[in-house]
Homo-oligomer: A and B are copies of this chain.
Amino acid sequence: MADFIIGIDGGGTSCRAAVADPQGTILGRGKSGSANILTDPNSAIQSIGEAAEAAFRDARLPVGEVRNAAAFLGLAGTNVGNLTQYVRERLPFRHTDIDSDGLIALQGAIGDAEGSVAILGTGTIFMARKDSKVHYIGGWGFTIGDLGGGARLGHALLQEALLAHDGIRQGSTVTDAVLNEFRHDPTAMVEFARLSKPGDFGRYAPLVFQHAEQEDPGALALLGQAARSVNEALDAITRIGGHERLCLLGGLAPLYPAWLEPRHRKILVAPQADALAGAVALAAKRHQARAGGAA
């Protein structure tokens, strides 16, 4: 029987951990480097261990107790089955449950309730809980998915600026801003785009929101298209999760509400807690289920 539980929120930028008592009361938090199991599983394993130890130190608990803990990990890239298995076998915890980063975000945002959650960041993913089952829509990545996400929106802005440069479409202040940044050199834009990762495109997304607020027609058209994609996906996810609550997460969550359909806006709720708290809550649930099973 584990004495402590651990929640882990592992992503490509950093790995966060929290240690809690078996009831889920958080005692300490820790942070470490990237935990991307797809690009570097061994580094991810190390980061997860480091974040957990940091949380124990933060709680003034003996670091050796990490080995007796029961951990719940929400990780990006868990749809690749073998890697999850590989990582689980090499982690130091007594019990290790691994699920998606989306699931811990949903748990944090709406707790045990039914409803829908949309993560609107560089990419987009839509989740709903109905009858205790969690459903996922989207989240397929930049290449042919993630419509409405920051990367696709920034990409669309660069494309529009190039069309304006060529005189194919009318420019506006938002495309002027981009063209000025690239000194009106289309080859520089094309080269930037060719080397860009989704996050690089995503850095242009706030520019679209800013200019749309000032009613720039170019920005309004781009954002209109992105918001249409988000509205369609929200229609699909609320058909599953119902029309009681919808929670937006991610970097664009504060920016999008004004551009969404009233049917979605009116059911928006603030997140109850973050993904790390969601991981702790799920760790506590699994711990209690095991205790119940053992009783």
State the A residues within 8 Å of B (CB).
Answer: 79, 137-138, 140-141, 143-145, 147, 155, 158-159, 162-163, 166-169, 186-187, 189-190, 193-194, 232-233, 235-236, 239
Contacts and interface: CB of A to CB of B under 8 A. Distances in A.
Nearest to A139: B166
A145 B168 contact: no
Given A168-B236, A232-B168, A162 B140 contact: yes
Q: Name, among A162, A168, A186, A190, the residue most crowded by chain B CB atoms within 10 Å (CB to CB).
A: A168
A168 B137 contact: yes
Given A137-B166, A168-B235, 6 more contacts: A137-B167, A138-B168, A140-B190, A145-B159, A167-B239, A168-B232
A189 B141 CA distance: 11
26 contacts: A79-B187, A137-B166, A137-B167, A137-B168, A138-B166, A138-B168, A140-B162, A141-B194, A143-B190, A143-B194, A144-B155, A144-B159, A144-B189, A144-B190, A144-B193, A145-B159, A145-B162, A145-B190, A163-B232, A166-B233, A167-B239, A168-B232, A168-B233, A168-B235, A168-B236, A169-B232
Copies in the complex: 2
A240 to B, nearest CB: 9
Nearest to A169: B232
The 4 closest A-B pairs by CB, nearest first: A144-B159, A144-B193, A143-B193, A168-B236
A162 B79 CA distance: 17
Nearest to A79: B187
A159 B142 CA distance: 10
Contacts of A141: 190, 194
Contacts of A189: 144
Given A168-B236, A169-B232, A236-B168, A162 B144 contact: yes
A194 B145 CA distance: 11
A17 B127 CA distance: 58
B233 A140 contact: no
Contacts of A169: 232
Contacts of A236: 166-168
With most chain B CB atoms within 10 A of its CB, the pick from A143, A144, A155 is: A144
Contact of A140 (B144, B167, B186): B186
A119 to B, nearest CB: 15
A235 B263 CA distance: 40
Contacts of A79: 187
Contacts of A187: 79
A235 to B, nearest CB: 8
Chain B CB within 10 Å — which of A140, A162, A186, A189 has the most? A140
